[in-house]
Chain A
Amino acid sequence: MILRSLECRFLTIALCDAAEPWQLGSQDAATPMMQGIIDLHHDIFFFLILILVFVSRMLVRALWHFNEQTNPIPQRIVHGTTIEIIRTIFPSVILLFIAIPSFALLYSMDGVLVDPAITIKAIGHQWYRTYEYSDYNSSDEQSLTFDSYTIPEDDPELGQSRLLEVDNRVVVPAKTHLRMIVTPADVPHSWAVPSSGVKCDAVPGRSNLTSISVQREGVYYGQCSEICGTNHAFTPIVVEAVTLKDYADWVSNQLILQTN
């Protein structure tokens, strides 16, 4: 299993868009947002390793040299202005170097800079999701709406991921700005797709907005991320990103199916 995981990580060119056994890192980025999150993680890890090495060296060295056998008479230094200034300023500078990219990413994720092309409503239920595409409505009733249930444990076909696959996927166009409206109909849920860097809580009575722009075509898997009851583990999310033309075809086909 570990071998397979390593193989997936290093030997294949297929991108990792679903959770897999023994996974340690993030899934591959499908949106600039997720790319930013991964880059920030790596940036912070640089400082983390630096601090780890430095602190470990200090600690080991102190234990090695200054014990009862090697140094029976302890030194009685209680303060030193220079070292105190250094050890206050230096960590603050490191924190600054972490904070600047962190806030830049946070606000760039939050800000909606361009008008989206599509609005999709993801409505959480116990325990399935309803998706509404209402941009193409001409009345309140006629709306492209469908439910997305998980494929039960004993039912998946060969190649489908256990408890990650759904019967109706959310189809979105790639390289297009999407507006996701996330809300539940009963208890709190969460709409989360790791590859797209989105984890948006669904709070009853409130509709939350999150913007994504999927950069490549593919199928992305996510799971409910807010404990929502007994079948919390059985409410996956599957996003299928297709070309804009295929998306338009899909929508018109769905509209025909719904009207018939």
Chain B
Amino acid sequence: MAEKPTIKVETTPGDWRFPSANQTKRCFTCYIEYNKCIEAKGEGSDECTKYAKCYRSLCPGEWIERWKEQRANGTFAGPL
């Protein structure tokens, strides 16, 4: 049996830039911020973890997959 992972009950905190019920833009912004961060600081940089946590917690998996595909095809709409 695999080692039981220890669970730290913690999620990305609230963001004053997105106070409303609509969190679509927040998820997108976090995704952009993360990718800009790893571009600047290199893959696996600790400083980028919080952005990764943010977009993974807030974006549906399907969106992340779609964006990944779009970036591979060069059709991604965001400023990357």
Contacts and interface: CB of A to CB of B under 8 A. Distances in A.
Interface of A: 110, 112, 115-119, 121, 123, 132, 134-137, 140, 143, 145, 173, 176, 179, 181, 183, 185, 200, 205-210, 244, 247-248, 251-253, 255-256, 259-260
Contact of B60 (A123, A251, A255): A123
Contacts of B14: 112, 115-116
A183 B62 CA distance: 11
A206 to B, nearest CB: 5
B2 A259 contact: yes
Contact of B11 (A119, A123, A185, A208): A119
A140 B56 contact: yes
Contacts of B22: 206-209
28 contacts: A115-B11, A116-B11, A117-B9, A119-B11, A121-B60, A134-B56, A135-B9, A135-B56, A135-B57, A136-B5, A136-B8, A140-B56, A143-B56, A145-B61, A173-B9, A176-B9, A181-B23, A200-B21, A206-B24, A207-B24, A207-B27, A207-B60, A208-B21, A208-B22, A208-B23, A209-B22, A247-B9, A251-B7
Nearest to A118: B11
A140 B14 CA distance: 21
Interface of B: 1-2, 4-14, 19, 21-24, 27, 53, 56-62, 64-65, 68
Determine chain A's interface SS by DSSP, over half rule: mixed
B56 A256 contact: no
A207 B58 contact: yes
Contacts of B12: 119, 135
Given A121-B61, A135-B12, A251-B7, 17 more contacts: A115-B14, A117-B9, A117-B10, A119-B11, A132-B61, A134-B56, A134-B61, A135-B9, A135-B11, A143-B56, A145-B61, A181-B60, A205-B24, A207-B22, A244-B9, A252-B7, A260-B2
A145 B56 CA distance: 12
Given A179-B11, A248-B9, A209 B23 contact: yes
